[in-house]
A and B are shown apart, each in its own frame.
Chain A
Amino acid sequence: MVKYYPLIPVLAIYLVMFLIGFYIEGMWQMVALLAFYCALGQSWNIFMGMTGYVDFGYVTFIALGTYGMALGISYTHQYEWLGIGIIFIGLILALFLASLSALLESFIALRLRGAYFAIACIGINEGLKHFIEGARIWGGSDGIIFYGALIQAFGRETSNHLTAFWADFAVFIIAALAAILNIYYMRSKIGYALTAVREDEDAAKVMGINTTKYKTIAFLTSGLLGAAVGAFAWGVKLAHVYPGDVFVIHYTIECIVVVLLGGAGTLLGPVVGGLVYGLSKYWLAVVLPGFQLLVFAPIIIIIIVVFPEGIIGFVKQKTKSTPLARYII
């Protein structure tokens, strides 16, 4: 069990965030935003933190997750007997679409390395967006608006609850689940294999590691979690989806920044990164509306220069042979 101690600070932070949002008036929106960044960082970290591959197309998963939820709800809302089941159908569709794309991407892209991998993933993301718009599937560039469908299925009050509370609550659950999977992988054969892949992929193969298999496991896990975040944080919460809003590389960059700020490949890193990133973004938008990016970019650069291993990478170094070490990875 000692092996899993590092989960304690992570889950404790999530709990405190949740309690603050739940009990303090007016805090829920901010806490939800933070949970969103933490969940995405944590999910993304499972692949990129462990393998060192940078997946610029990560947003594809989030986007397909949103579409899955949108399709699920808009096609099944008229069946009253399904009740809350339509959300589950949406989630399953989200995961299904994400798996398809993960398998396609890992088939094509994981055979490539480094920069080629990054470019291939961007290509797939842009390709999908243009395909949806050009072929006019799933509403084409008009997207899918399903708030009406929600109201029809659940009534106005429950729908409000769903979009304003339960969608964010689900993001908390996904963040926690991502942390649990992350540490489970780290502590199992998968983690050892992925570390070997990150450090020297050819040597890893000679040591008997089926590198494609382990990369695919991490990629799929990371993608499915991202899709789940999309399904709730963008799908259920906003109740609409437009291709131009979701297939946006900008969100991948945000994931990268969150993970690098906190410490790639660490468990606590994406949480701390998500908090630092989310809070500064939120706060700067309030105090310096319009100028936030101007201030934000240098702050991020400074943090990354001062803590090249991320904030948690730094803390890990400092606490190496102290009792704290077993709680921080």
Chain B
Amino acid sequence: MALLKLENITKTFGGLMALNDVSLEIEHGELIAIVGPNGAGKTTLFNIISGVYRPDKGKIIFEERDITRMPAYKRAPLGFGRTFQIPRPFNSATVRENVAVGAMFGSLAGKVSVDDSLEIADRYIELVGLEAHKDKEAGSLTPVEKKMMEMARALAMKPKLLLMDEAMAGMHPKDIDEMVRFLKKIKEKENIAVVSMVEHVMRAVVGLAERVMVMHQGSKLVDAKTEEALTEPRVIEVYLGRPPDESK
């Protein structure tokens, strides 16, 4: 049984076709990278999956349940977690409170008290290495710390599917390697399917994903095992216009 199925999703903004008949299947515990140049429709795809937008056409099936019309807040408890391309922390709340929100309203909603959630938050804050900042206001973190905080917040939701929008953009290569190791560890441990969106970080794609989906102008161009996808001539052409191993 697929964890998530997108069937022929189309989404337009005014005259602009941000997603054009995109289908995708994600299995439990899979690691997928979605790549594509600016404006390819990656963030829109995430917004459709997490319920920020409704698709114009097509269906979204999560664990055999049609969630196409389900509002975002009802999807989260089913097992969705996500981070944002531009981090969106709850600025005036502390890091600990931010992450606790994930625990409180994610898939554990109704099963954990406020105190439990704070404890869960502490665990994930430690996991992403932000212990020293946990009582700081989230708004005062550096951009990279904000990304890590969002990561902890999304993980505290105990998702079955984790959507990471450009989690590694702007990171130092050393941090990227660490992030990749971290994601793999998480995936093994918690059996989370991770869909990570990476733009110009080829290194991460290669290190991370089992499968790569390449998007271009709202359409799915390629969807294949990582090694195959990266040697596809069409991919090389569209994506950066240079061979992938140059950036390794």
Contacts and interface: CB of A to CB of B under 8 A. Distances in A.
Interface of A: 187-189, 192-193, 195-196, 198-200, 202-211
A187 B97 CA distance: 11
Given A205-B73, A207-B153, A208-B75, 20 more contacts: A187-B114, A192-B100, A195-B93, A195-B97, A196-B90, A196-B93, A198-B90, A199-B90, A199-B91, A203-B90, A204-B73, A205-B71, A205-B72, A206-B80, A208-B73, A208-B76, A208-B109, A209-B73, A209-B105, A210-B74
B114 A207 contact: no
B84 A203 contact: yes
A313 B88 CA distance: 23
A195 B104 contact: no
Contacts of B92: 195, 198-199
A193 B103 CA distance: 12
B82 interface: yes
Contact of B105 (A187, A188, A200, A207): A207
Contacts of B90: 195-196, 198-200, 203-204
Contacts of A198: 90, 92
B10 interface: no
Size category of the B interface is 20 to 34
Interface of B: 50-52, 71-77, 80, 82, 84, 88-93, 97, 100-102, 104-106, 109, 114, 153, 157
Contacts of B50: 206
- A187, A203, A211: residue with the most chain B Cβ atoms closer than 10 Å: A203
A188 B114 contact: yes
Interface of A is mostly: helix
A208 B114 contact: no
Nearest to B84: A203
Contacts of B77: 208
29 contacts: A187-B114, A189-B104, A192-B93, A192-B104, A195-B90, A195-B93, A195-B101, A196-B101, A199-B89, A199-B92, A200-B88, A200-B89, A202-B88, A203-B84, A203-B88, A204-B101, A205-B52, A206-B50, A206-B73, A206-B76, A207-B76, A207-B101, A207-B105, A207-B153, A207-B157, A208-B75, A208-B76, A208-B157, A209-B105
Nearest to B139: A199
A199 B93 CA distance: 9
Contacts of A208: 73, 75-77, 105-106, 109, 157
Contacts of A202: 52, 88
A199 B75 CA distance: 21
* Central interface residue in A187, A189, A193, A208, by most chain B CB within 10 Å: A208
Contacts of B52: 202, 205-206
A195 B137 CA distance: 12
A189 B76 contact: no
Contacts of B157: 207-208
A206 B104 contact: no
A192 B73 contact: no
A192 B109 contact: no
Nearest to A200: B88
